[in-house]
Structure 1
Amino acid sequence: MTTGPVRTAEPVLRRAHDADAAALADVWLRSFAAALPAVRRAHSDDAVRAWFAAVAVPRCETWAAVADDVVIGLMVLDGDELEQLYLDPDRRGHGLGDRFVDLAKQLRPDGLSLRTFQVNAGARRFYERHGFVAVEHGDGSRNEEREPDVRYVWRPAEGTPGSP
């Protein structure tokens, strides 16, 4: 008798392909619902799927975490902004987010910034553990959800590659 899905492959992080857009959007939708049930979503499921297909994958640097040919996580970089980092809810707490942040730091050795919602205590702890520092608290007027947010910045330590 099996009690859940059998995971055989270590997730691979790779650049997303156009064919991944729907699966990426589905991960985003599941993750947002699980992590932020009290936050009003600004866009319908179909609009989220359209954004991944028309913007995130073709216009941004979008990465997919894939295990057993299934997309289980995503990261979107736009310039030095870590725009999106979402994992399938059952994949949290297993090091996949750490791998994405490490990859983002390798790809942007001069530094990164991001925004997360103030109510997302888990994400805030995660980013702070990875050396991100809160530099601005917003009232929600700058995001579509109208939810108070926090802007975080990561800069490499002095003497590390990419530091001044």
Structure 2
Amino acid sequence: MKIRLSQASDGERAVDIWRRAVDATHDFLSAPDRAAIEAEVRGFLPHAPLWLAVDQHDVVQGFMLLDGDRMEALFVDPACHGRGVGRALVEHALALQPALATDVNEQNPGAAAFYERMGFARTGRSALDGQGRPYPLIHLRSGR
């Protein structure tokens, strides 16, 4: 597995991974909210500077979006779950920024457990997500 920066041609694959990952892990989203979020994602994700985990054939398996000391997004193709893709991306992020913060949906306990295994600690909770929707967030920070 290799970690590289995204190119314009990676945009649709990133959106596809986002969609597949959300469908696999975010069953708590209402249908209208899911549609609204996807519209937002389609508008910015293909043009965002992403870090990609790619296989030996340069097929994107997962991506993350970093903004300074914040990991704003980490999504792995569900077909690649359990293969170290998320771990590789987080380790890369921590190498770039040892003091890293992120948020996870409280209704996605698997994500919180993953970050805790990676050494992140809970630092707080918000009752609403970043867009004011009723999806509580757990705030996490790396312990490095």
TM-score, structure 2 normalization: 0.88
Does the CA-based 8 Å contact 2:53-2:88 persist in structure 1? no
Q: Of the candidates 83, 100, 105, which is equivalent to residue 117 of structure 1?
A: 105
Alignment of 1:18-33 (within 5 A): 18-33=8-23
Which residue of 51, 54, 65 maps to 2:44? Answer: 51
Q: Please list every run of 5 or more consecutive structure 2 residues that lacks an aligned counterpart in the other structure.
A: none
- Give yes or no for contact 1:13–1:64 (8 Å, CA) kept in 2: yes
Q: Distance in 2 between matches of 1:92 and 1:144?
A: 29
- Runs of 4+ aligned structure 1 residues displaced above 6 Å come to none
Shift of 1:71: 1.5
What is the aligned partner in structure 1 of residue 77 from structure 2?
88
Is the Cα contact below 8 Å between 1:35 and 1:120 reproduced in 2? yes
Q: Which amino acid aligns with 2:77?
A: D
Give the aligned partner of residue 64 of structure 1: 52
Match runs of 1:125-144 below 5 Å: 125-140=113-128, 142-144=130-132
Q: 1:81 to 1:93 in 2, by over 3 A?
A: same
Identity of aligned residues (%): 32
1:13 matched to 2:6: no
1:125-162 superposed Cα distances (whole Å, 9 cap, x missing partner)? 00011111111111015435430110001131xxxxxx
* Bigger proportion of residues as helix: 2
| C-alpha spacing 1:138/1:24, structure 2 compared with 1 (3 Å) | same
Which residue identity does 1:112 align to in structure 2?
Answer: L
C-alpha distance after superposition, 1:76-130 (max 9, x if no partner): 1011001111000011111111111110110002x00000001111001000111
Q: CA RMSD in A?
A: 1.7
Aligned length: 140
**Using a 3 Å threshold, how does the CA distance of structure 1 residues 32 and 134 change in structure 2: closer, same or farther?**
same
1:150 aligns with 2:138: yes
- Distance, in Å, in 1 between the alignment partners of 2:61 and 2:129 is 31
Contact 1:42 1:145 in 2 (8 A): no
